Chains A and B, each alone.
Chain A
């Protein structure tokens, strides 16, 4: 143990500042209550305080902040989506991310890498071309590239996949694609919100939501009742628990998604590589670990367990693309919950229940949207009206048959 740490532990006073306060108990009421202390909920709290001056806000977190999807994703940030609504929304998020370390005064290790979505078939290449054209039309840096370009940028890749899989025909290349330290995003927003007066209550679970005549009146927690007329549910994989409390039906189904990291290596991969056909995405973190994620587990489950199937499948795909990794060890693997929607777009904004707002349906695409979802949900809570960027994502789209189909851009290609 380092000497400094030992000295610190034995000291009576701990002078190092806390990132945020730990309020001892809940107040009787708040102007707004945010359920879920992940990136999205904390960002919404931050922008409520910063943009709208609403600081009498409680963030309720059942576990610890950033312990759900925020800390379990593979931290990829990009905006090369397929629909106009999606591209506008995620691009706004990328722009916020680019300046976020400065805004939160915390190093998020935001690192622009360049994002390759490999196409193993002409059909896949056609989708990538479609995405590139939509992207370029909306001013996003995105282009279809051929095998030569890929080999030059990622010399270690085996584009023939060792003959085990269909070879790589080309890729969608998105230079602004980035990675960041995901837990720091949650902590940075938490500190920013806390400094502006927002209360963050960890270890506080919501047991019920009080609705009278179609209006939210308060929230029951395991630490008592809170009066409030505005509740934001930002709990991603746990959303179906919350919507059940208010009697709201949604299309959400929960699937686990698993990821893993290898032992740390010297930096060799400065790009983000995604293969839809091999169901994997790969990047190297600033600590040198290779971070790899897969597609969804094949059936619904509200559990974060890990399986051997995943590890085997993941390693098979990885070795087809990067045979040089054959003697690299996997260090750990984990699972997270994905609340999937039928069109692979989120469910955001107002609901039929007055004062109940949803920030859900984040499936496998939630981390990259953290800043903009926080900002647009804060606006929506304040004005009781969907922000321009999220009107297409309202829950009501499913009764109007007006979906925002992002499957080609959001499914495995994060």
Chain B
């Protein structure tokens, strides 16, 4: 069984988690062009590699960030969101 380490509750089976997609920075909606907004809304970094992703621990309602390799499915690090820690 795959285990993910929740920063609050410790190691839990993957079934207890919900995947929230990659961490992305929202541009200022009032200043961007339509094209830049479209890029933010739709485009993703789907290529192979290690990414920061949002994950949610369902039983405890905890959103947190995981650094995960999307080819090997290895979770390298998990931590709570801090605005300066996340790239996004």
Contact = CB atoms under 8 A, between A and B. Distances in A.
A302 interface: yes
Nearest to A238: B48
Contact of A399 (B15, B19, B38): B38
B35 A399 contact: yes
B39 A401 contact: no
B25 interface: no
Contacts of B73: 301, 303, 305
Nearest to A343: B42
A301 B38 contact: no
Contact of A303 (B18, B42, B47, B71): B71
Given A303-B71, A398-B38, A400-B38, A240 B43 contact: no
Contacts of B19: 298-300
A303 B70 CA distance: 8
A256 to B, nearest CB: 10
B44 interface: yes
B85 interface: no
Contacts, number: 55
Contacts of B42: 251, 342, 398
B84 interface: no
Contacts of A399: 34-35, 38-39
Q: How large is the interface on B (under 10, 10 to 19, 20 to 34, 35 or more residues)?
A: 20 to 34
A252 interface: yes
Nearest to B72: A303
Contacts of A398: 38, 41-43
A252 B44 contact: yes
Secondary structure at the A interface, as helix, strand, loop or mixed, is loop
A401 B46 CA distance: 20
Size category of the A interface is 20 to 34
B70 to A, nearest CB: 6
A342 B15 CA distance: 24
A159 B47 CA distance: 42
Contacts of A239: 46
Contacts of A298: 18-19
Contacts of A241: 47-48
A301 B70 contact: yes
Contacts of B72: 303
Contacts of A401: 34, 38
A285 B38 CA distance: 43
A300 B38 contact: no
Q: Which of B19, B21, B53 has the most CB of A within 10 A?
A: B19
Contacts of B34: 399, 401
Interface of A: 239-241, 243-244, 249-254, 298-303, 305, 309, 339, 342, 398-401
Interface of B: 15, 18-19, 21, 34-35, 38-39, 41-44, 46-48, 53, 70-73
